[in-house]
Structure 1
């Protein structure tokens, strides 16, 4: 028997909702891409291109634990298309900021995901 609080939405609809909602909760000059995670129907892959001269690109995996809660994992950080050490202060600060935005986006979509 399925848990009553499981995520019950088509992954493509979820991707579309995230594509529409995430830019509204993020800092406006930053760009984001949202794709379905091919290996896990409860997960999305989010790439955030940081605005400015740093040319940072953050890859996150966002997994729905249930219909309301998401687990956000930083997968990779690149600068000028090269993976970098994500432990420096600027990258840490941006990472925390983006994780907060990803949680805000999930919250904004509660009505859709918690049907």
Structure 2
């Protein structure tokens, strides 16, 4: 049985903005926003620290109140589209995907009361 979330999207976005910094590496930054098309989905943009100026965009969708599905939707390097198959990008994508899952886990008290 799926458990639907009882938290509205704006509250969810704010909770992510509060929790995610604790899981981030020094120098990395992010934005979290609601997906206007789906109230169960957040759009998360990461800016990686370092001279190469990578930025990665993810779609984080709540499958139910306890589980999220994470999809990498865009990768840029210095403001330009770049190949997401490189080792550097794959490493960043894995790191940020893990941080997204950790954040979702940390917020289960809100999403799965």
Query: Given the two structures, how large is their TM-score scaled by the length of structure 2?
Result: 0.97
Gaps of 5+ in 2: none
Q: Residue in 1 aligned with 2:95?
A: 97
Aligned partner (choices 52, 71, 75) of residue 77 of structure 1: 75
CA separation in 2, counterparts of 1:66 and 1:7?
7
Alignment map for 1:1-115 (pairs within 5 Å): 5-115=3-113
Q: Secondary structure at the match of 1:97?
A: helix
Could you tell me how far 1:105 is from its partner in structure 2? 0.3
> Which of structure 1's runs of 4+ aligned residues deviate more than 3 A?
none
CA RMSD of aligned residues (A): 1.0
Could you tell me how far 1:81 is from its partner in structure 2? 1.1
Note if contact 2:2-2:64 (Cα within 8 Å) is conserved in structure 1. Answer: no
Could you tell me how far 1:4 is from its partner in structure 2? 5.9
CA separation in 2, counterparts of 1:59 and 1:23?
16
CA separation in 1, counterparts of 2:82 and 2:72?
13
CA separation in 1, counterparts of 2:24 and 2:102?
9
Query: Given the two structures, how large is their TM-score scaled by the length of structure 1?
Result: 0.95
Q: Secondary structure at the match of 2:71?
A: strand
CA separation in 2, counterparts of 1:112 and 1:40?
19
